[in-house]
Each structure stands twice: as C-alpha cells, then as structure tokens.
Structure 1
C-alpha cells in the first residue's frame, strides 16, 4: 500500500487517530497515537519520535532519541477503539537515518534479505500455531512476605463442586480432556468465533479454531502462512485481538506457556518452508515423508542448533515449566512424520507439494516472533549450507511415541535445555550461525542474553510457595 493509499483510507474510513506501533526486545508492542489531522505524507517520510531509553533492552538515556518509520503495508483498522483508529506497525531508526540493529523487525528483514542472497531460495514462509488460555479470574503477587497466584475458569476440572454459579451447571473440561469437544463442554465457541471475525476484518486469513487439550479455557486459532516478517506482524495482530476480545467478554487471555500445574501448556508450533519463486523446495516425492534433501538439511540445522535456538524461541523461565515430558511437550531433539512427541514434526495428512513443510514444535508465544522466525531460518540455512544430515547425527527419524521408550532406548536422544539459563549458556557458546550476513550482531546477542539473565535471576532469587511445603518444618 502506498502512502497516498493510506491517506485515502484515513479519509474513506473516517479515521480520527493513527496509532504508530513498534515491537520491543521481548515481543511486546508499544504505541504513540496522533490525531489523523496531524498525519500527512511528511509523517511517513520523517517518522514519529520516541524515547528509546524508556524501553527495556533498547538505549541509554544519553542516546535516547529514536524514530518510528511507518510501514504502509502493515496498516489495519483497530477493531476496539471508540474513536476510529488506524494501526501502523513501524520500523525503528536512529536519528541519523540508520536502521536500529536492536529492532526485532530489522532483524527479520535482514534474515529475509540473507535468504535471497544465499542462493538457496527467494522466500521463507512461516505459520505459527499460537495457543492460549482464556480465564475468568487471575490474581498474583510477589512481595517480601508473600508470593502467590490464582487463576480460575468456569469450565475448569477443579470447579465440579463450585457453588458460585447459582447452581453448578456441570459439563466441566477434564484434565487433558479438552481437545475439540462440542458445547456445552466447550463453553467458548462464541468468544473464539468473535476473535476470528475481527481477525478476518483486520486482514488475517483464518483457517480454523477449536478448544485445545487442557482444561480451564485452552484454545487455538490458526491463521494462514505468510512471509517471515508478515507472519510476525500477523502474530502481533492476532495476540492483540485475542487479548482485547477476551477483555470485552469480561475474561482474560494469556499466552503464558504454563499458567496452571498438572495439565498441558500453551505452545507455538511453527511451520516453515522455503520456495524459489513459485517452486517449493522442501518437497521430493518418495523421500522420507516426501521431503527433499534440502528440507532434511534444514531440519538438521534446527536440531543441531536447537539448544541455542531455544533461548530465542522459548525465552522465559515459564517456558521450561511446559518443556517437561508427559504433557505432549516436544522435549526430544529428533524429527518424525506425524509424531507430536518429536521437536520437529513433518505433517503428512492432506499435504500437497506446495504445502510440504516442517513443524518446529518446541517454541512458545513468550518468544518475540520476529527474532524467533529469523533465528529458525538462520539455523535451517546453516543446516543447508553445511549439508547437516539429521539421521547421521542421531536425530531420527523416530516414528514411535518417544515417551513410551525405555530409559535405555532413550539414552542417546538429546533433550531441550532444562532451564532458561542453560539455553542462554548454549546461545553464548553457539551464536555464529545467527551472525552470518550480519543478520544478528554479537552486540545484539550479548544485550539479549543480559536482559534474559536478569529475568532468570529475578525468578531464581525469589521464594517459591512450594518451598514452604518442602522445607518449613526442617
């Protein structure tokens, strides 16, 4: 969309405000809103100034002036504001006109450019499957003398005896019993459908929605694949709509990987493939799961670099509460066709040559999507460049349920890091694949690790309520 088309859209839709947004290191959106009367062609040339020192992981106070440069291809009408508002996602620049190398969107763009100059292909496509919970109540605190959290959902398994409903209505979702039941067990059909409707109005091509495995409001909505940066933009749009529709219904949505104990968490399975023009490069009829050698090498790169990659695709302490065996968590660094216990799965049901792809099941939605998709692509391209054969390295294929194997059978299967600190250690030891072509910089990685180390430490030094049960009587 051209600048002129955006200005015409503002007039056509009676837009009163234009909301300029950027994405920080952690994947959270920030915004500055201008009256539409103050937005003209010059705005798209000069950008919108903001204070970078107030954004976690950006700049110091002595170099705080930064500029948001609007991307006219990212615009959509905000479905929630009382005053008609147009949302525009922006790239971040320094005052001297240089792309800011800590801007996650800049890194996503550089990854796409690196692919185009690599000789491998022209376009990488990504499709995230981002799961979430919808709760009725959430409360938490962490102080000097108190630490607790509480979440509740009217459909949760623990509420079979709840009286607050004025007579319990039953039909609760059992633990691990939430996969695609119909109403009245699935009580959230309408709220998900409203999310889908608004996503479609905002330009997403939604393919389906359903209740997920866990009790207490587990949900998934799938939207169609797109190019790397566009898919990351779409995921930001998706999360914004999910959060705000839930709020309109008097509920709260969270993409936290493991908000409740004892049931499945929320992942973000990421499908990806590479094309050369209109030619799919991951398909080869007769190969394992009809995969080409290039696709297998791409898998090899992801699995080889997975411990480091996970520091970016699963960048929270809570991520590793999900990545434990027994809850469909993809903790095994192997590949397989159709096997959900493997970190990399190759979908085989109703797949065409153009739909041939790999699914990295480990990530979750605490990841910054621009960084996560870029890192995945760089790991896969390194595998292609080095012709990493995943089978030769013992990464499979494993077409049996790995959780059913004996300890002896599993002893040579690598697992994901057990903690965020372990993943960050792996990233510090294995980052060169990310800095190829200047996509990520060493300075960016050092800064990222520092931010995440601080998060991990802030959790590690706090007293956990369960410790009282374990140790208070010592």
Structure 2
C-alpha cells in the first residue's frame, strides 16, 4: 500500500488522528498521535521523531533523538477511540537514516532477509496460539511493608459458595476443568466473539475461539498464520484488541503466564514452517509425522538451542511459574507426535502437505513476538545448516505419557531452565546462532540480558508473602 493510499483511507473514513506505534524490548507498544490534517506523504518519508532515552533499553539521554518510519502495510482503524483513528506500526531509525539495531521489528525483518540469503527457502510462516485470562477484578501491591495480589472471576471454582446480590447461580468452572464447556458454565462466549469481530474488522483472519483449561476465565482465540513480521504485527494487534475489549466490558484481560497458583497457565504455542515459493519444505510423506529431514533439522536446532532460546521466548520471572510439571506445561526438551508435554509437537490431525508444520509449545506471551519469532527461526536455520538430528541428539521422539514414566526414565529427559537467570546464563553461553547474518547484534544481546537480569533481581530481593507462612514462627 502506498502512502497516498493511506491518505485516501484517512479521507474516505473521516479519520481525525493517525496513531504511530513502535514496540520496545519487552514487547510493550508505545504511540504518538498526529492530527490527520498534519499527515502528508512526506510524513511517510521523514517519519515521526520521539525520545529514545525514555524507552528502557534504547538510547541514553545524550543521544536520545530517534525516528519511527511508518509501514503502510500495517494500517487499521482503531475500534476503541472516540475520535476516528488509524493505527500504523513503525520501524525505528537513527537520525542519520540508519536502521536501529535494537528495534525488535527491524530484527524480525532481518531474520526474514537472512532466511532468503541462507538459500533455505523464501518464506517462514508463524502462527501463535496465545492464551489469556479474563478477570473481573485484579489488585496488587509491592511495597516496603506489604506485598499482595488478588484476582477474582465470576467463573472461578472458589466462588461456588459466594453470596451474591440476586443469588449465586452456580455453574462455576472446576479446577483444571475449563476446556471447551458450553454455557452457562462458559460465561465469556459473547466477549470472545466480540473480540473476534473486532479482530476481523482490523484485518485478522480468525479461525476459532474457545474456553481454555483453567478456571477463572481462561480463553484462546486462534488467527491465521502469516509471515514472521506480519504475524508479530498481528499478535500486537491481537493483544491490544483483547485487552481493550475486556476493558470495555468492565473486565480485565491478561497474558501473564501464571496468574493463578495450582492451575494451568497461559502459553503461546508457536506453529512454524518454511516454504520455497508455494512449495512446503517441511513435508515428506512417510517420514515421522510426515516431516522432511529439513523439518527434523529445524526441530534439532530449536531443541539444541532451547535453553538460550527460552530467554527470549519466556522472558519473565513469571514464565517459570508456568514451566513446572503437571499442568500441560511443555518442560521436556523432546519432540513428539501429539504429545503435549513435549516442547516440540508435530500436529498430525487433518494436516495437508501445505499445513505440515512443527509446534514449539514452550513460549508464552510475555515474549516480544518480533524477537521470539526471529530467535526461533534463527535456531531452526542453524539446525538446518548444521544438520542437527534431534533423534541422534537424544531428543526423542517421545511418544509416551511422560507423567506415567518412571523416575529413571524421566531422568533421561532434558528439561527447560528452571529460572529466568538460568535461561539468561544459557543465552550468554550460546548466542552465536542469533548473530548470523547480523540479525541480532552482540550489543543487543548484552543489553537485553542486562535488562532482564535487573528484572530477575528485582523479584529475587523482595520478600514473598509465602515466606511468612514458612518462616515467621521459627
């Protein structure tokens, strides 16, 4: 789409404001809005200036001037603003016109460029399954003399005996019993359908939505796969619309991996494949799961580099509250057909050659999608380049129920890192696969690790309420 086409849309739809957005290292979106009357073709050439020193991990105050250049292919109408507004995603540049090497969206684009120069294929496709909770109330604090959190949901099993105005109507979602029930147990059919309607109006192709396993309003909406950067753009749009739709209903949506103790957390299972033009490169009839050797090598790269990769795909301290056995959590570094406790699953039901793909189940939605998808592609391409065979490396296939295996058998299965600090240490030791082709830079990785170390330390040094239960009376 040309800049003139965007200007035509602004005029035809009576748009009053143009919202220019970019994404920081953590995956949070930021925006600056310009009156539509001030947006001209030159705006798409010269960009919009902003202060990079106010964005964590970007620039120091002595070199803070930065520019975001809009990508005209990302335009959509914001469904939540009172004044008609269009949203445009941007890439970040330095004032001298150089692509900024800490811009997550730029890194995603460089990963796609590297795929083509590596001679493996032309296009990588990604499709995330991003789960979320919809709560009715959230309260939290972390101070010097107090620390607490509280969440509540009308669906939650702990409210089965709550007295409510008008009477308690029952039909609560049982503990770990929320997978695809119908109403009245599923109270969120209409809100998810409204989310889907708005997502479709914003350009996403929605495939389905449903209630998920956990109690207290866990849901999932699946949208159609696309190329790496476009899928990351779509995921940012998805999270924005899900959270703001919930807000319009007087509720709150969160993509936090483990907001509830003792029930299933929210993951972001990422389906991925590589094509050469219209030819699917991951399909080979008769192979394990009908996968080609290229796909097997891609899996080998994902699993071999998984400890480092997880620093980018599961980049929060809360991520590792989800990555514990017993809650469908994919903590086992193995691959399998249909085994949801393995880190890599090969979907086999109703799969066509073009639909043949691998699913990395470990990630969650605290990941910056541009960085996470780029890192997964780079790990997979390294596996292809080095012909890493996951079978020879001892990653499976694992076609057993892991929960029924003996302790001795389980002991032979490698696991994901247990903490964010462990994952960051793994990234420090294994990052070269990310810097191939200049996709990630060493400067970016060092800066990212420093930011995440600070987050881990901030949690580690604070007093946890459960410590009072354990130690106060000693």
TM-score past 0.5 threshold: yes
Q: How do 1:23-172 residues align onto structure 2 when only pairs under 5 Å count?
A: 23-172=23-172
**1:268-307 alignment to 2 at 5 Å?**
268-307=268-307
Distance between the aligned counterparts of 1:397 and 1:185, measured in 2? Answer: 38
3-state SS of the aligned residue for 1:66? strand
Query: Residue 350 of structure 2: SS of its match in structure 1?
Result: coil
User: Hey, what's the Cα distance between the residues in 2 that align with 1:295 and 1:412?
Assistant: 24
Matched, 1:451 2:444: no
Q: Which moved more, 1:272-281 or 1:156-165?
A: 156-165
CA separation in 1, counterparts of 2:193 and 2:129?
A: 17
Distance 1:366 1:419 in 2: 15
Deviation at 1:402, TM superposition (A): 1.2
Whole-angstrom distance in 1 between the partners of 2:148 and 2:209: 32
Any idea what SS the aligned residue of 1:182 has? coil
Offset, 1:166: 2.9
Distance 1:349 1:220 in 2: 19
Matched residues in 2 for 1:163 and 1:230: separation?
Answer: 47
Q: Offset of 1:411 from its aligned partner?
A: 1.4
TM-aligned CA deviation for residue 400 of structure 1: 1.2
Tell me, in whole angstroms, the C-alpha distance in 2 between the residues paired with 1:411 and 1:44.
56
- What whole-Å deviation, never above 9, does each CA across 1:94-122 have from its counterpart, x for those lacking one? 00000000000000000000000001000
User: 2:431 — aligned with what?
Assistant: 431
SS at match of 2:427: helix
In structure 2, what is the Cα distance between the partners aligned to 1:298 and 1:157? 42
Counterpart position of 2:4: 4
Q: Deviations over 1:257-299 (max 9, x none)?
A: 0001010000000000000000000000000000000000000
Q: What's 2:381 paired with?
A: 381
In 1, distance between residues paired with 2:314 and 2:165?
37
Aligned equivalents of 2:153, 2:165: Cα separation in 1:
12
Alignment of 1:280-359 (within 5 A): 280-359=280-359
1:6–1:407 distance in 2 versus 1, CA, 3 Å? same
Runs of 4+ with >3 A deviation: none
Shift of residue 410 of structure 1? Answer: 1.3
Gaps of 5+ in 2: none
Question: What secondary structure sits across from 2:353 in the alignment?
Answer: coil
The aligned residue for residue 411 of structure 2 is 411
Q: Deviations over 1:236-259 (max 9, x none)?
A: 000000000000000000000000
State the Cα distance separating 1:403 from its structure 2 match.
Answer: 1.9
Is 1:245 matched up with 2:245?
A: yes
When the two structures are superposed, what TM-score results if normalisation uses the length of structure 1? Answer: 1.00
Deviations 1:40-87 (A, max 9, x none): 101001000000000011110000000010000000000000110000
Which residue is 1:465 aligned to?
A: 465
Deviation at 1:165, TM superposition (A): 4.1
Normalised TM-score (structure 2): 1.00
CA distance, structure 2, for counterparts of residue 401 and residue 429 of structure 1: 32
Any idea what the Cα deviations from partners look like across 1:288-347, whole Å, max 9, x if unmatched?
000000000000000000000000000000000000000000000000001101000000
What is the aligned length?
474
Q: Distance in 1 between matches of 2:186 and 2:174?
A: 11
Provide closer, same or farther for how the CA distance between residues 165 and 333 of structure 1 changes in structure 2, counting only shifts above 3 A.
farther
Distance in 1 between residues matched to 2:404 and 2:23, nearest whole Å: 41
The answer on 1:265 being equivalent to 2:245 is no
Q: SS where residue 41 of structure 1 aligns?
A: coil
Give SS of 2:175's match.
coil
Please say if 1:183 is aligned against 2:183: yes
- String of CA shifts for 1:182-216, please: whole Å, max 9, x gaps: 00000000000000000000000000000000000
User: Hey, what's the Cα distance between the residues in 1 that align with 2:282 and 2:391?
Assistant: 17
Partner Cα separation in structure 2 for residue 411 and residue 389 of structure 1: 21
State how far apart, in whole Å, the 1-side matches of 2:91 and 2:454 are: 26
Counterpart residue number, 1:227: 227
Alpha-carbon distance in 2 for matches of 1:310, 1:85 = 36
Q: CA deviation at 1:164?
A: 2.7
SS in 1 for 2:354: coil
Structure 1: where are the runs of 5+ without partners? none
Instruction: Tell me the equivalent position of 2:402.
Output: 402
CA distance in 1, matches of 2:53, 2:368: 20
The C-alpha deviation readout for 1:107-161, integer Å capped at 9, x for no partner, is: 0000000000001000000000000000000000000000000000000010001
CA RMSD in angstroms, aligned pairs only: 0.4
C-alpha distance in 2, partners of 1:462/1:404? 37
Secondary structure of the structure 2 residue equivalent to 1:140: strand
